[in-house]
Structures are given as structure tokens and as C-alpha cells.
Amino acid sequence: MSEFTVKVEDKKRVCWQSAGHEWGLHAHRLQGSPMVDVLIDERLVISLDEGEAQDLSRALGLLLVPEADTDARGKKGKNRPAAAGKPWPPEHDEELARRWTAGEPSADLAKHFQRSRNAILARLVTIGLEPDLAAAQRAERDGTQGPTRGGERT
């Protein structure tokens, strides 16, 4: 990777030097519409409208940070479950409660909901089904029935 220096001239123009060239992005309005010009060595390469600029930004983000290496919030981390960091839909809360009270192990629930086992246990607390975490860990390890609360399966 070559030397990289960024110079922000104002809120509408950003320039950087890399690979022996000066690159630039210049935001402006053309007939009232937002535009972004892409320049190399002070020469216009392409003008993008607002939608094209947003598409380019998303594409560069995917190119520079591969999807498999990020979670839903764009945080780096390998082998994260697909739903990590995403909000829980109400119907998933209902299904989680039903399956947990029916005795399904948290590891199986994690696979089903595409979340980590810890996320499942944390969500159980959030929806009012506070699992006995030590018992849950023993049950997972031993392959026995999961934790109980007040003598009832939770």
C-alpha cells in the first residue's frame, strides 16, 4: 500500500495523495440537485448524482470490508452468526419463549435464530424468562434437560 495523505479543504471537498496522484471528491449542487465529482490530478473523471454517490460508497464499503468479516453493525469479527447485532422481531421473541419453555437447548436455539448462545440467554432475560445460567451451561455440557426456575422448565 502506498503513502496516503488526506487534506480536507472544506466540508465540500476532500483530497488525498496516493500512488503518485492527487485524488479528490467535490460535493456541489447542479440545478439544485446534489452531485459529487470524482477527480484525479485535478481532472474530472466522473460526476455522480446523490444516488450514484451513495451506491458507490456502499460498493466501496463492501469491497474494502468484506461482508463475511462484519456483523450487522459493520463491526469486524469472523464467524459471527448472520443475525448478530440485528433487532429481534416480536414474532421471534414469541417463538423463542415457546421453544425455550418446551425444553429446546440454547445451542439449538442459537442455530435456529442465527445468533450466539449468549445472545439467546440474554434475550431470555429481556423477555422475562430468566434462565439459570449455571444450570444452562451444565445441561448443554452434559446433554441433559435445561435449567428450571421454581420447579418449572423455563
Residues 96, 51 within the same domain: no
Residue 85 placed within a domain: no
C-alpha distance from residue 28 to each of 14, 25, 35 (Å): 12, 10, 5
Do residues 76 and 57 make contact, with C-beta atoms less than 8 angstroms apart? Answer: no
Residue 80 placed within a domain: no
Tally of structural domains, the chain: 2
Q: Residue 126 phi/psi, 5° resolution?
A: -60, -40
pTM, 2 dp: 0.42
Sign of the dihedral defined by the CA atoms of residues 82, 86, 92, 93, in that order: positive
Residue 141 placed within a domain: yes
Share of residues in the chain with pLDDT > 70 (%):
65
Per-residue pLDDT tens digits for 27-85: 888 888 888 888 888 888 888 888 888 887 777 766 665 544 454 555 555 678 888 88
Residue with cell 433487532: 87
Residue 15, domain extent: 5-64
Pairing type for strands 148-149 and 152-153 reads antiparallel
The C-alpha cell that represents 67 in the structure block:
461482508
